Amino acid sequence: MKINPSYPRLGVLLAAASWVWGWGCTSDRDVITRLFESESAWIDLSYSFNESAIYWPTAEGFRLDTVAAGVQEAGYYYTANNFSAAEHGGTHLDAPSHFAEGREHVDEIPLARLIGPAVVIDVVARAAADPDYLVSTADFESFEAAYGPIPTGAIVLLRTGWGQRWADRAAYLGTAATGPDAVPLLHFPGLAPEAARWLTENRVVGAVGIDTPSIDYGQSTTFESHQILYGRNIPGLENLANLEAMPETGGYVVALPMKIEGGSGAPLRIVGVVPGRG
């Protein structure tokens, strides 16, 4: 299999995946085969979009309106719906333009940046002790001490354990309130600005994802980590599901958002694949 030359980084990512995780693959075809072999485990990292999906307290939530449902006069069954929602809610992608003027909108993000080897930074124990925990530079350094440098083009996933709270809005956000008055009451972990800066200055990553409502922690008022990452055209992936099923290394991610022209964000379907685990 030859990689489309318009996405040269994908070949680099595939080669990196083969090298980092010892797949013994010598070509793009070998890597693709390894990913899609029957022994691979596919993991849904997305939550369903429904009326219970969690959105920012000031955002419009997901709404599904029935247009038609049932047997039609002509005798056939037919169903169709309309849906509406804010860009930022549920499992979604933040485009760099969300917090960085002149940076990429959703439809401008190269696909190769959203497909790549995954590394998982596990801070579950620390976040359990502190709902305002900030993933630190030390957390990245500890990961690299155990597993080696974060590879070029990796999608970095921050696992805080917050996904276990998804069914309880108050526990997940820190408050069940909505509207502007709820924002100061938010409590959940996020990425420390100095760690975001370390990542952008020392590593080349495709995207950063987290199993909380925001890359910045709930009490942030300046969203500095957003500004740092998005200023470098590194998109964010928020409200991710099932990160506990992803290994620290050895996994791969495909994160495809709805292609909204000019969008600052979009609903996201993201999946992980772990070769040899199925």
Active centre residues (catalytic): 98
**Contact between 89 and 105 (Cβ < 8 Å):** no
Please choose, from the candidates 222, 216, 108, the residue with its C-alpha nearest in 3D space to the C-alpha of residue 158: 216
Q: Name the E strands within the chain.
A: 41-44, 63-71, 77-84, 92-94, 115-122, 134-135, 154-159, 190-191, 205-210, 236-238, 251-257, 265-274
Please choose, from the candidates 96, 123, 116, the residue with its C-alpha nearest in 3D space to the C-alpha of residue 35: 116
Q: Half-sphere exposure (CA, 13 Å, Cβ side) for 128?
A: 7
In terms of DSSP bridges, do strands 265-274 and 251-257 run parallel, antiparallel, or are they unpaired?
antiparallel
CA distance 47 to 166: 9
CA distance 74 to 72: 5
CA distance 216 to 218: 7
- The three-state secondary structure class of 78 is strand
Residue 115 carries which side chain, given as an amino acid letter? Answer: I
Please choose, from the candidates 254, 268, 258, the residue with its C-alpha nearest in 3D space to the C-alpha of residue 36: 254
Collect all residues with Cβ–Cβ distance below 8 Å to 152 and sequence separation of at least 6.
12, 13, 16, 203, 204
